[in-house]
Chain A
Amino acid sequence: MQGAESSSFASPSTSRYTCLSPAYLHDVRRGMARVLSRLYSGGASYSGSRRAHSFAFGRFAELSAYKKMLYGTLGAAAVAGGCLLYALETSEVEASGIDLHAPHFHWPHSGVIDAFDHNSLRRGYQVYKQVCAACHSLKYIAYRNLVGVTHTEEEAKAEAAAIQVQDGPDENGKMFMRPGKLADYFPKPYPNDAAARAANNGALPPDLSYITLARHGNEHYIFSLLTGYTEAPAGIELRDGQAYNPYFPGGALSMAQQLYDEGVEYEDGTKATVSQMAKDVSEFLSWAAMPEHDSRKRMVIKAVLYFALIYPVVYYAYKFKWSLLKSRKSQYVLLPRPRNRFNPPTSTPSSSAPPSH
């Protein structure tokens, strides 16, 4: 429409523009100057930004020798600095320690939509119960948590019933012992921290509920620690009851090696090697720290499906609405100044009224 109006403006033969006064033409010229000055400033800034982009993306050959040398040196310094940072970040040894970082292993639950290996979880529970539970608590895990994960409900009830839990008070005000129920939490090996320290040369065996999240390296670290016992190198002295493990910060660990081949007899007949047991108990402890893990991974699939349905619709609507704006061609039209009481004509107008716009 603007274009059509513009072309009709250029045709003074129409009756609408037969009465152009000099004052009106003067205003048009002033308006044109105004628009041109705006166009100039806009164009200048646009070309400035183009220059900035061309600087970022190329035209290196057009630079002077001095600038080439400067930018080349800066680029080389940036690359060298990046390499140095990468080397520092990936260094296995820090100046503040001599510990080994646990290598990364592929776990059954590592993938984006991979769930835990529940056979492994069940075996891991067996390792925990027969080996770890002697010293380590798992205080945030209840027997009900095992249902549908490692055991059936009946099996979990039987596991719970195998422990004695203090309850009460009864009608006589006395505490009493009863067999465990599904709602009961795993029993603690020691009544309190002081007793735990007293039984372990002053070291407190940590609770294992969050152990894979509470250690740098997560389950990789747990597996490496359980399989990483070795002789202490020369120069490192261990106190009584301590063992050397290069994955443990400082190396001196108050827990001796606990896993040995055939240390447990798996119900499913899996051969109980040290690495198999370490893998199973690490997997079990990962589940203990993240019992919501499998639900999370299921939600990945749901989220992807919903996103795949919704996003194309929204993106299409966005592109559809913007298509007119993106494909438009701007044309600056010279509009005369509106004539009203704020803009009185500079000279006496002709007999007819000024053209409307």
Chain B
Amino acid sequence: MMNSALVDLPAPSNITHFWNFGSLLGVCLMTQIITGIFLAMHYSSSIDLAFDCISHLMRDVQGGWLMRVIHANGASLFFLAFFIHIGRGLYFKSYVLNMTWISGVTIFLMSMMTAFLGYVLPWGQMSFWGATVITNLLSAVPYIGTPLVEWVWGGFSVNNATLTRFFSLHYLLPFVISLLVIVHLTFLHEQKSSNPLGLRLGSDKITFHPYFSLKDLTSLLLIMFMFMMINYTFPFSLMDAENFIPANPMVTPVHIQPEWYFLFAYAILRAIPNKLGGVMALLLSILMLIPLILQSSMKQFNKENQKNMFFWFFVMIFLILTWLGMKPVEEPFLSMSIVSTFFYFSWFFI
């Protein structure tokens, strides 16, 4: 089975380096799991100890700082690779591989959930207030909202029980994601890879090894080198300053914002003045990827120049939303969020 999946697997000869991000995601997942296991050896999910554990890990454990920065920044690399992987799928219409696409979207959602749970674990100010804001979104569910939030919290606020269960789930979910990755690959190998020309020709396939194993390794090495350079030179540049302050339920940060990879969804959430509407828009910002499989079967690129142009417009809107997510809720950012949200969802209907 390994031979048919990794060695003799027939793959289109014309797929570019943009198709390497799938394997990069696999490497990222394994890196996160391995570093996470090491981090868990030195972590205690108690609200009195969690922040001190991270400090101990960074200062006193041999190589602990390296494990921690790889794990923390690895999440950013993971989502960067996700966005490029999904963006490539959107541009080249890989969603026609419907089961592969749906399993991929499921992995994306699970990864977002896992990343959110992990962000709470250092128990800094942004961990605590991020957990408070995001879990409170469940209160928008009609009728059962408040009990649902309290059930998730394990109490009447984000507290020790919340941290304990978040740690437990953060440890568990990556293994579920790993299983989903196997499902994703199984569907991919059954439905075959897409290719830049959008052709469905069964011809001109080459074996995965050595052609794509070497191609993947080339880009993997380059990206990992850049990743390690960031870890060695600016490891804290993607971390919020507030999260270096221990969680304090009595002091609310001026700006509460999630990690950069959730900012686009966060901007969409804030753009809708109604709480339930905002939560729905937040969910739909990801779930809108699923109905794409209903689009007509693999089209060629004839007369689709405008559609390609709209894709890059969508990318621009995504980047603007990410930027808006880290801005305070005031003009002109609020109006820009509303307009950008409108354009974001419009793209799915074009």
Contact = CB atoms under 8 A, between A and B. Distances in A.
B303 A291 contact: no
Interface in B302-332: 302-305, 308-309, 316, 320, 323, 328, 330-332
B214 interface: yes
Interface stretch (A147-155, A228-236, A311-319, A336-344): A311-319
A321 B211 contact: yes
A48 B55 CA distance: 56
Interface string B232-271: 1101100101101100000000100000000000000000
Interface string B126-162: 0000000000000000000000000000000000000
B66 to A, nearest CB: 8
Given A96-B330, A214-B242, A216-B241, A48 B304 contact: yes
A94 B221 contact: no
B198 interface: yes
Identify whether the interface residues of A are mostly helix, strand, loop, or mixed: helix
Nearest to A71: B309
Contacts of B332: 88
Given A214-B241, A300-B233, A85 B323 contact: yes
A41 interface: yes
A249 B254 contact: yes
Interface string A136-161: 00001000010000000000000000
B218 A318 contact: yes
B330 A95 contact: yes
A41 B300 contact: yes
B7 to A, nearest CB: 14
Interface residues of A, number: 51
Nearest to B200: A41
Nearest to B233: A112
A310 interface: yes
Nearest to B65: A292
A215 interface: yes
Contacts of A241: none
Contacts of A322: 211, 214-215
A140 B59 contact: yes
Given A45-B197, A213-B244, A303 B302 contact: no
B331 A95 contact: yes
Nearest to A322: B211
Contacts of B333: 88
Interface residues of B, number: 51
B228 interface: yes
A176 interface: no
A52 B308 contact: yes
A105 interface: no
- The residue in B58, B232, B333 that gathers the most chain A C-beta atoms within 10 A of its C-beta is B232
Contacts of B197: 42, 45-46, 49
B232 A303 contact: yes
A89 interface: yes
B232 A300 contact: yes
Interface of A: 38, 41-42, 44-46, 48-49, 51-52, 55-56, 78, 85, 88-89, 94-96, 112, 140, 145, 206, 209-210, 213-216, 249, 289-292, 295-297, 299-300, 303, 307, 310-311, 314-315, 317-318, 321-322, 325, 330
Given A38-B201, A49-B196, A85-B320, 9 more contacts: A45-B197, A45-B199, A45-B302, A85-B323, A210-B55, A213-B236, A295-B65, A311-B225, A325-B206
24 contacts: A45-B197, A45-B198, A49-B197, A51-B301, A51-B305, A55-B305, A55-B308, A89-B323, A94-B328, A95-B330, A96-B254, A210-B245, A214-B242, A214-B245, A215-B241, A296-B233, A303-B229, A303-B232, A311-B222, A311-B225, A314-B217, A315-B218, A317-B210, A321-B210
Interface of B: 13, 55, 58-59, 65-66, 196-199, 201, 204, 206, 210-211, 214-215, 217-218, 221-222, 225, 228-229, 231-233, 235-236, 239, 241-242, 244-245, 254, 300-305, 308-309, 316, 320, 323, 328, 330-333
